[in-house]
Chain A
Amino acid sequence: MADAAITVEDARKTYGGSGGKHGKPALDGLDLTVARGTVHGVLGPNGAGKTTLVRILATLLRPDAGRVEVAGHDVVREGYAVRLRIGLLGQHAALDEELGGRQNLELFGRLHHLGARRARARADELLERFGLSGTGHKAVKQYSGGMRRRLDLAASLITDPEVLFLDEPTTGLDPRGRAEVWDSVRSLVGGGTTVLLTTQYLEEADQLADRISVVDGGRVVADGTADELKAAIGGDRIDVVLRDAGQLGAAVALLPVPRDAVTVDTDRRLLSAPVTDRMAALAGVVRALEESGVDAEDIALRRPTLDEVFLRLTGTGDRPKEAA
């Protein structure tokens, strides 16, 4: 793709060298294409290879094999050109904890060769933009988790990078800190920056990403927009909540799908099943419940949640056939 900001073809990495003592590869033939100016979510459980991918993209780690390009430059052969064009927000705050917030930003600005005056001006600008102006003199170790993350994000934006990597940007933050970081990321989009975001939180990918790649075992197992992914695992679902949990067994037989396709949640007295024809299924279920005298409290049609997509794609159960 000509207008791709990130291209990864068949990337492989095993720690301790290929065929190394640690055995299992962290990346096992991963493919990924991210269009310029979009936010791409990389979703996967712990150990799926998300951080390895980001470290390779940010030139911190060399892939064993495969082609990896960022902003049109090869990460192995043209590392310097890549580093000129990227920003990185790693999993752990990449800041000097002893120094103040402003001192950190000035340091990174100088290392980006902005020169003393521009580095100082840029630091002030970013502190202002991320709501840290009042605390720029404080040592970073006295910052709250959310403030630290915002400063870290500010540090990765010193030169308005073409491509920004966010590796689990909200892991370990409280809900308020998470909301702060989400707002900051949203405000970046539209500025033309390409963002690659890894996360374990489905909601985060759903909220922030234009497209999502689901990663498991070092490879992409599914790829698409949030809606496409939801549609790919069977489209809409019907939920039926009963008044009496004792009737759950009888109600399962009334749904227009095979028994093993129905999920039963006894605590919530809830049945859930995939449906193809929404209106016909709804009418049919309502009629069948009435005729058999099963008392329903609520019936609803809905799209599947990303949680269901995620479990389905990465769980031990059925893998999708179109797995790439």
Chain B
Amino acid sequence: MTTPTYVLTDSWTMTRRELARWGRQPVTVVVSLVFPVMLLLMFGYLVGGGRGVSGEYLDFLVPGMLALTMAFGLEGTMVAVTQDLNKGVIDRFRSMPMTSGAVLVGRSAADMLQSALGLAVLLAVAAALGWRAQGGPAGFLGAVGLLLLFRFAMLWIGIHLALVAGKPELVQAVQILVWPVGFLSNAFAAPESMPDWLGTVVQWNPMSQTATAVRDLFGSPGGEPGHVWAAVVWPLALLAVFLPLAVRRFARLGR
């Protein structure tokens, strides 16, 4: 029914709405960017112990933290969508002659932008600590691409969960649950160092696939050659399930 040009215009308008919200809440944005940096330093010093925030453990930790930051993005997406749903503003959007998909596209674009910014900050801090990517420019760009692909999958899971749950109470439950799911990965330690059963769980965590592939592309310890395909297939599989589910759920809000 709508003219195709409005899809882009409306999506851009909705993205700008999010950017305008950042301008209104600079502290929230800064905290969300600083939080992963805090985790990196904390784990670097605590877990890294004698190895400190340098050398081999840092090389191992940085890709893990990058992947973990992308995974935690799920929670931010879910909070934002839940807030919109419970504030009535979504009713105004839906009663206007705009492309209804723009609500979701705008959300995705803004969240991806924020995550890209988060990656940049984390990489800059890591570089300041002396970390260097060893895989060359192509490997570096490939790694960033894989991380953002993983984030994109997390984003649509977040949108879907928000549309299904819809209640702030359930957001809290998810906020707590992302921690064990994020930590049951190879972000901080290699699965080989874990009990068998745990190592298996950790190896199957989609986040671990991304972290392993990124380590490979950065030339870091813990990387496995030829693991990139898993870091492509897993997010795509998640997207194939959750993106259509979320879109369908959104379109059926009025039923």
- Name 20 A/B residue pairs within 8 A (Cβ), A-sorted: A59-B94, A59-B254, A60-B94, A61-B255, A62-B255, A90-B88, A90-B91, A90-B92, A94-B91, A94-B92, A96-B17, A96-B87, A97-B87, A99-B24, A107-B13, A107-B16, A107-B20, A111-B10, A111-B13, A111-B93
Report if A259 contacts B (CB, 8 A).
no
Report if B9 contacts A (CB, 8 A).
yes
User: Considering the chains assembled together, what is the distance between the CA atoms of A58 and B20 in angstroms?
Assistant: 28
Q: What total of chain B residues lie within 8 Å of the partner, measured CB to CB?
A: 28
Report if A86 contacts B (CB, 8 A).
yes
**Shortest beta-carbon distance from B224 to chain A in Å:** 44
Report if B248 contacts A (CB, 8 A).
no
* Known contacts A90-B91, A96-B17: A80-B97 contact under CB 8 Å: yes
Report if B193 contacts A (CB, 8 A).
no
**Shortest beta-carbon distance from B107 to chain A in Å:** 13
Q: What total of chain A residues lie within 8 Å of the partner, measured CB to CB?
A: 33
Report if B21 contacts A (CB, 8 A).
yes
A contact residues around B95 at 8 Å (CB): 58-60, 83, 86, 88
Contact A108 B92 (CB under 8 A): yes
User: Which of chain B's residues 82-121 have a Cβ closer than 8 Å to chain A?
Assistant: 87-89, 91-98, 102
User: Considering the chains assembled together, what is the distance between the CA atoms of A201 and B97 in angstroms?
Assistant: 31
User: Considering the chains assembled together, what is the distance between the CA atoms of A60 and B20 in angstroms?
Assistant: 26
User: Considering the chains assembled together, what is the distance between the CA atoms of A125 and B2 in angstroms?
Assistant: 28
- B89 CB contact (under 8 Å) in A61, A94, A113: A94
Contact A98 B24 (CB under 8 A): yes
User: Considering the chains assembled together, what is the distance between the CA atoms of A274 and B13 in angstroms?
Assistant: 60
- B20 CB contact (under 8 Å) in A62, A91, A95, A99: A99
B contact residues around A178 at 8 Å (CB): none
User: Considering the chains assembled together, what is the distance between the CA atoms of A61 and B253 in angstroms?
Assistant: 8
- A92 CB contact (under 8 Å) in B88, B96, B254: B88
User: Considering the chains assembled together, what is the distance between the CA atoms of A34 and B10 in angstroms?
Assistant: 33
Contact A62 B97 (CB under 8 A): no
B contact residues around A110 at 8 Å (CB): 9, 13
**Interface SS of chain B: helix, strand, loop or mixed?**
helix
User: Considering the chains assembled together, what is the distance between the CA atoms of A62 and B13 in angstroms?
Assistant: 27
Report if A197 contacts B (CB, 8 A).
no
Contact B92 A113 (CB under 8 A): no
Report if A200 contacts B (CB, 8 A).
no
B16-49 near A? 1/0 per residue, CB < 8 Å: 1100110011000000000000000000000000
Contact B254 A107 (CB under 8 A): no
Report if A184 contacts B (CB, 8 A).
no
User: Considering the chains assembled together, what is the distance between the CA atoms of A108 and B93 in angstroms?
Assistant: 8
Report if B1 contacts A (CB, 8 A).
yes
Report if A121 contacts B (CB, 8 A).
no
- B92 CB contact (under 8 Å) in A79, A84, A88, A98: A88
Report if A301 contacts B (CB, 8 A).
no
Contact A112 B1 (CB under 8 A): no
B contact residues around A103 at 8 Å (CB): 20
A contact residues around B14 at 8 Å (CB): 111
Report if A281 contacts B (CB, 8 A).
no
- B96 CB contact (under 8 Å) in A61, A111, A139: A111
B contact residues around A94 at 8 Å (CB): 87-89, 91-92
Report if A248 contacts B (CB, 8 A).
no
User: Considering the chains assembled together, what is the distance between the CA atoms of A116 and B154 in angstroms?
Assistant: 33
Contact A155 B6 (CB under 8 A): no
User: Considering the chains assembled together, what is the distance between the CA atoms of A79 and B95 in angstroms?
Assistant: 9
B contact residues around A88 at 8 Å (CB): 91-92, 95
User: Which of chain A's residues 67-93 have a Cβ closer than 8 Å to chain B?
Assistant: 79-80, 83-84, 86, 88, 90-93
- B2 CB contact (under 8 Å) in A58, A59, A62, A80: A80
